[in-house]
Structure 1
Amino acid sequence: MPRFSVIVPVHDVQAYLAACLESVLSQSCAGSCQGTGCGGPACDLELIVVDDCSPDGSGAVIDAFAARDRRVVALHLPENTGLGPARNAGLAHATGDYVLFLDGDDTLVPGSLQAIADRLKETGDPDVLVHDYARVYWSGEAVRHEFRVQLDEAGPAPFTLADRPGLLKVLMVVWNKAYRREFLEREGFAFPPGFYEDTPWTYPVLMAAGSIATLDRVCVHYRQRRTGSILRTTSVRHFELFEQYDRVFAFIDARPELARWRPVLFRRMVDHFTSVFSAPGRLPRGTRAAFFRRARAHYRRYRTPGATPKATTRLRHALVRLGSRRGYRAVMAARTGARRARAGAALMARALRGALLQLHYRVQLRLPVRADRAVFAAYWARGYACSPAAIEERVRALVPGVRTAWICAPGHAATVPPGTRVLVPGTAAYWTALARSGYLVNNVNFDRRLVKRRGQVFVQTQHGTPLKHMGLDLQYRPAAGGSMDFPALLRNIDKWDYLVSANRHSSLVWERVYPAPYRMLEYGSPRNDVFQRATAEDVARLRAALGIPEGHTAILYAPTHRDYARPQPALLDPERLLTTLGPGFVLLVRPHPVLGAPAPVPAPATVPDPVPAGRHPGGLPDAARHPRLIDVSAGAGASGAAGPLTVEELCLASDALVTDYSSLMFDYAGLDRPIVLHTPDWAAYAAARGVYFDVRECPPGPVTAGQEELAEVFRSGRWRGEHPDRLRAAFRARFCPYDDGHAAERVVRHVFLGEEGQPPVVPDAGRTPAPAATPAPLFPAPR
């Protein structure tokens, strides 16, 4: 008997069906077969695919999968019956402990069945397990639903619906739950025919369940198709919604113990009626009046004391009760008009505020520059980070006469240290500081409206050694620089007075791709100073904050952004890697900040390294679900920490780095810990973005092109040892000649104090980077 029966009804989804079925068959479940497809009696999965007389090629796709994998049960119905009866046909053949339903154009997220199995075991095999889902749009964007807080796993489990009635706010669909088959058979549940067949299934199931549990993890990707959705088609079959609610209330009436749910279901019913009535394009022309009359009849038939809706919906419900269709439409039109008026007023208010702020800025530009003020920012106001943060800290220590301020979005204000003023972008104080501060320091450009004044000093630090093409070189790389305003870029770089460079390679690139009369400060990377100044105690503190178990090897996985792909390709399966490596490893997963952080605030159109507007999914969703996989993305906090750790802190907490083409490899080399380059898409990346050299020919450590090869590098011990050490030493000598812990001080002494060449560079042999926490490799290193 398998653990799971996954039932997929199919009708006219040939373009999506293969991805759907593959997402199920590629799941790994606990059991003797381990998802190999042997089809034996102990296999933990059966996939029942029901061809509801589909007119396209879906039937052939089903048969191909059934021939390939014995876990697939192919059912071909002789005539089209509809979604509900097709599910019933699959349910009749189910033999698993638990039943899951999946629509033919949706997919299971990798690792979902294992997560469901673990949660079922943890909660004592409840009747129903409700898990999360995400809507996936044609752009690749995945959005979790607004009521996911109802799936919180905190508190006792399992429970009944009476213990958590908020579950009724979650979208009433069949495919976001796992059902104990014995429970379904005992209660005699079956799907009715017609549209909205989920309604008379999900409500009764939740009300009748003796035990319910939740799983706060996205397990299903709910595809939002531009066309083809049944419930968005224009049809008189939307009237079948009334019969479905008749079935819901008949179920309640047959069970007096469920009478308490009538008020709640009544409110949900009326809301459902009004949403269908208001949705454009669902009801055919000439049927809206009849639909509203039916809604009024159902309102009067099932009205229940205690069913008073919230004030915001009370008027809509009253109009349904009165049958005032014209009144309802007038109210909705008035609300739409009011919303538009508010939006217009807000737009005008923003425009007026912007004009007043620019007037304020122009006034401030006529006032004297304050030589004792310095303004810092990094990563488009995302928080206190990178080389500007290292320089700001040294300014406070070495130049106490200068007052510092940090430009920071409100959500990142907690990252700014005490004693440093926080400036919120777009405020009057922000514009005053830009107009009158004597020093401006950033690792990207400030607002393009910045007027560089005589007496102001602009220090540009950049944010990494360039492997990928930058600046003017992006003119020939449309995937990366297609939306870049190059004339505006040149106007921005003309404002720079100093450009901080980490090494000679960077200096040569910067001078060519950012041609302007600034002075190059080839002093090292200030953001890497912490690697030489941190102690073993600092490393232990950071590892404890992240929850890294003592004695475990922590691998930091930090891939870069792919300009050529949206959403980002999944080039590494972290859970499978951890399974291969064994229990002694922990994986810290950090998607590129473009993926793991909010959109830039503000987001100027001209910056040295363009960041696409908005977020692009493609990182590693629900990474923290694996017990040894820790989400350390820019938006994730650390246990015991005030907020997310900086990338430098993550480097200190880790024992090794796995990356691809990220500039983080150049920083990590100065820490003198193992680096492995995972480059499965080198040709595509190099062609789309462009690179200044082939890093595979002079790597800082082993280079892999596939996941199995990457796992073998760690299992064999080749990730560390004499050969990787030699590679890393040569890489460090080339790219980290000045990273001795004093780069920020050299910048401050030159720019703020007018000193030259102080302090001198400590040679590589005299540096003492922070020690790694793991005393020895898990696997012996080759000699």
Structure 2
Amino acid sequence: MPRFSVIVPAYQVQAYLHECLESVLSQSCPDLELIVVDDCSPDACGAIIDEFAARDTRVRPVHLPENVGLGRARNAGVAHASGDYLLFLDSDDTLTPDALRSVADRLKETGEPDVLVFDYARTYWTGEAIRNQAALHLTEQGPAPFRLEDRPGLLRLLMVAWNKAYRREFVEKGGFVFPPGVYEDTPWTYPVLMTAESIATLDRVCVHYRQRRQGSILRTTSERHFDVFEQYDRVFAYLDERPELDRWRPVLFRRMVHHLAIVYSRRDRLPRGSRADFLRRARAHYRRYRTPGVPGPMRCRIHHVLIRFGLHRTYRTLQLASALHRATARTTGKLLRGLRSAALTTHYRVQRCLPLRADRAVFAAYDGRGHGCNPGALEAAFRDLAPHVRTAWIAHREYHHTIPPGPRRIVPGTAAYWTALARSRYLVSNTGFDDRLAKRRGQVLIQTGHGTPLGHIGLDLQERPAAARGRDFARLLKDVDRWDYVLSANRHTTLTHERVHPGRYTTLEYGYPRNDVFRTSTPADVARLRASLGIPRGAVAILYAPTHRDYRRSQRHPLDLQRIVRRLGPRFVVLARAHHAYDTALTRTCGRVVDVSGHPSIESLCLASDALVTDYSSLMFDYANLDRPIVVHADDWEAYDAARGTYFDLREVPPGAVARGEDELIDIFATGHWRGSRSTQLRAAFRERFCTYDDGRAAERVVRRVVLGESELPPVVPLGERRPVPSAAASLTREPLTTVPLPAGPHAVTDSL
């Protein structure tokens, strides 16, 4: 008997069926049967199903003699199922990698519940993937399994059958079947959740829900959407037959009203001329199933007024008025933006005619994303070593909390911003300033960079269209011509920069200022940072920080972090840090996995951690200065190298152990190889090559050379004489973990060194 029966009905989806079935058969949990139901499809679906059945014995084809619709096709699949749990998958959707393994692990943890609810992400034809916005209801914190009374918020999730796993015996005992119609999930999902004695959640995206550009039933304008009324008749008939479930009537009434309002208000569902009739039927359903005292939030009240009174013309009038208001606002806003831009241009030209201020310096990092990186360390060094120079920091308002006391805060695009660019002697950034910057005689521009390059940069990207993404290389060279000094951490970075960024600047091979903190911090600083992050005393904190992929439009999620910490045991904690190029986090804070994407200081996270897991991020070169274990997760090296191009094969000169998959990564930590003698040898060779100058005084050398004009600079401390602050796990014992509660929600710590 297989663990899972995955049921896939197929009808006119020949373009998507291969990908769907492959996503199931390639799962790392092979204990499954795949029941594919050919709903008498007129295209090649039947032949595709037979091809898969011929090559894999786990595929069980079911060919129906006539088209019966999605719901009845699923029923036919259930009749052939023999697995412990049933999962439904639409034939144009896909399972995410390792989804079934995560489901199996969670089912075992929660004592084989009747229903397990997991998450999904909508995927668009553009390549964009957006996670379910109501995923907060899937938190795994708290007791599990539970009943619906304990977590009624689950009824606010999308009412579909394919985001759950159902114990087959529970389905058979309850006699649950799908009715005909296009909204067949509604009278299945509500009764299942209300009846289940035990429910559990899995806070993981297991299904990619394809948003087809055309062809989706729910996005087709048709009178078939009137089917929603019959389906809610079935839901309330189910309640009528079971008085013990009557407590759910108010909730279901609210959900019905919301659902009817959504169908009515979507412009792509109801044909012209049928909307008034739909509203009349909705009003009749409202009166038939009305439950006193139901309306809640304002949006719900608007829906109730619309459905209860059938204000079709009033609703259309409000829609037209709203559209007119938006159009007027857009026109007015465009005009105001044009006037503001002209005024700021004039202001900048005037400021450039005024004398340069030799005692002013302006800093920026990552295009205004806050205080940090090399410019952040240099700004602090300016205040310490050249206090006569007044500093200012450019950042968007939402990042002002990251700026420490001392520098003046400046918002990009304001008059103060253009004044600073026009009159400050020193301009410091790790990316670049506005393209409209006209550098004046006497101004000094310091390009700090933001990492030792592994992947191609600069002019080397001309032959890499996936990585270049329409980059303007003429503009790049114009920016290079403004540079006076470029910072470098090692000889490899110097040689690369001078070749791919050809210019007349001076390279300061002094080390990276952002790494100075690794030498100046103390064990007390490390302990304070770990406490602020909620890391239990005695725990091993793994910092997971992958880089971005040029060949993908969205962020990769190659590792199941929850599974990793479950396999490694209670002594391990994972700090997950998304790359700054993405606006979304890698994961949600849950248990021993903590989202630190919002933390303002990557250096502080490095200090708080005991080991780094990364792929091809330049962070590994900085982290090596701490002389702490590094594990490289290189599961897609060939694809990364093909798209981006690399300056050397990281697998041949790694800073530590190399894992090519999730299980291998788990094994590296479980066996202790992550900090074994071989990993130590690899790290020592890596540090010898790339950490030559990072001795804790890089920022001091830059300020003394550029600002103070000194020629005698502090000598570089030899690598063998450096003593970076040790990690908390360096002297790890077998003492039990102290019970320090981890954060319960998305983590955004503001504490930094």
Does residue 498 (structure 1) correspond to residue 485 (structure 2)? The answer is: yes
Aligned AA for 2:423?
R
Q: Which residue of 1 aligns with 2:618?
A: 663
Distance change >3 Å, CA 467–CA 134, structure 1 → 2: closer
Does residue 418 (structure 1) correspond to residue 405 (structure 2)? The answer is: yes
Distance change >3 Å, CA 351–CA 161, structure 1 → 2: farther
Q: Which residue of 2 aligns with 1:634?
A: 597
Contact 1:593/1:633, CA 8 A, preserved across alignment: no
Does residue 104 (structure 1) correspond to residue 104 (structure 2)? The answer is: no
Distance change >3 Å, CA 159–CA 346, structure 1 → 2: farther
Contact 2:424/2:443, CA 8 A, preserved across alignment: yes
Q: Alpha-carbon deviation of 1:335?
A: 2.5
- After the TM superposition, which residues 752-771 of structure 1 pair with which residues of structure 2 at under 5 Å, given as runs? 752-771=707-726
Distance change >3 Å, CA 167–CA 299, structure 1 → 2: same
**Tell me, which stretches of 5 or more residues in structure 1 are unaligned?**
29-34, 38-44, 599-614, 636-643, 779-783
Q: Which residue of 2 aligns with 1:433?
A: 420
Distance change >3 Å, CA 261–CA 361, structure 1 → 2: farther
Deviation string 1:30-88 (CA, Å, 9 cap, x unpaired) is: xxxxx344xxxxxxx55443332233343344445555655554433222211111222
Greater alpha carbon shift after TM alignment, 68-77 vs 573-582: 573-582
- After the TM superposition, which residues 173-212 of structure 1 pair with which residues of structure 2 at under 5 Å, given as runs? 173-209=160-196, 212=199
Q: TM-score, length-normalised on structure 1?
A: 0.81
CA distance in 2, matches of 1:2, 1:430: 65
Q: Which residue of 1 aligns with 2:231?
A: 244
Contact 1:320/1:328, CA 8 A, preserved across alignment: no
Q: Which residue of 2 aligns with 1:169?
A: 156
Q: Alpha-carbon deviation of 1:753?
A: 1.9
Report the secondary structure of 1:139's partner residue.
coil
Does residue 17 (structure 1) correspond to residue 22 (structure 2)? The answer is: no
Contact 1:316/1:328, CA 8 A, preserved across alignment: no
Deviation string 1:468-527 (CA, Å, 9 cap, x unpaired) is: 332233233322224212222233233322221223332333233333333322211111
Contact 1:698/1:731, CA 8 A, preserved across alignment: yes
**Tell me, which stretches of 5 or more residues in structure 2 are unaligned?**
734-753
Q: Which residue of 1 aligns with 2:117?
A: 130
Q: How many residues align?
A: 733
Q: Which residue of 1 aligns with 2:692?
A: 737
Aligned AA for 1:197?
E
Contact 1:467/1:692, CA 8 A, preserved across alignment: yes
Does residue 395 (structure 1) correspond to residue 382 (structure 2)? The answer is: yes
- After the TM superposition, which residues 50-199 of structure 1 pair with which residues of structure 2 at under 5 Å, given as runs? 50-66=37-53, 72-96=59-83, 98-116=85-103, 119=106, 127-154=114-141, 161=148, 164-199=151-186
CA distance in 2, matches of 1:261, 1:584: 42
Contact 2:587/2:595, CA 8 A, preserved across alignment: no
CA distance in 1, matches of 2:122, 2:407: 41
CA distance in 2, matches of 1:512, 1:475: 13
Greater alpha carbon shift after TM alignment, 353-362 vs 577-586: 577-586
Aligned AA for 1:54?
S
Contact 2:10/2:39, CA 8 A, preserved across alignment: yes
Q: In percent, how many aligned pairs have the same letter? A: 64
Aligned AA for 1:11?
Y
- Return the match for 2:212 from 213, 225, 231: 225
Distance change >3 Å, CA 745–CA 24, structure 1 → 2: same
Q: Which residue of 2 aligns with 1:748?
A: 703
Aligned AA for 2:263?
V
Contact 2:588/2:595, CA 8 A, preserved across alignment: no
Q: Which residue of 1 aligns with 2:547?
A: 560
CA distance in 1, matches of 2:581, 2:659: 24
CA distance in 2, matches of 1:168, 1:427: 46
Deviation string 1:663-688 (CA, Å, 9 cap, x unpaired) is: 33332333334445555555544443
Distance change >3 Å, CA 309–CA 533, structure 1 → 2: closer
Q: Alpha-carbon deviation of 1:195?
A: 1.2
Distance change >3 Å, CA 188–CA 485, structure 1 → 2: same
Contact 1:109/1:219, CA 8 A, preserved across alignment: yes
CA distance in 2, matches of 1:645, 1:359: 35
Does residue 269 (structure 1) correspond to residue 256 (structure 2)? The answer is: yes
- After the TM superposition, which residues 298-697 of structure 1 pair with which residues of structure 2 at under 5 Å, given as runs? 298-308=285-295, 311-312=298-299, 318=305, 321=308, 323=310, 325-543=312-530, 556-567=543-554, 589-595=576-582, 598=583, 621-622=586-587, 630=593, 634-635=597-598, 644=599, 646-675=601-630, 677=632, 679=634, 681-694=636-649
Q: Alpha-carbon deviation of 1:545?
A: 5.1
Q: Which residue of 2 aligns with 1:31?
A: none
Aligned AA for 1:16?
Y
Aligned AA for 2:96?
V
Aligned AA for 2:621?
F
Q: Alpha-carbon deviation of 1:287?
A: 4.0
CA distance in 2, matches of 1:204, 1:371: 74
Deviation string 1:86-144 (CA, Å, 9 cap, x unpaired) is: 22223334455544322222233344445445555666655544333221222332212
RMSD: 3.9
Contact 2:371/2:600, CA 8 A, preserved across alignment: no
Report the secondary structure of 2:76's partner residue.
helix
Q: Alpha-carbon deviation of 1:719?
A: 5.9
CA distance in 1, matches of 2:97, 2:69: 29
Report the secondary structure of 1:434's partner residue.
helix
Greater alpha carbon shift after TM alignment, 49-58 vs 753-762: 49-58
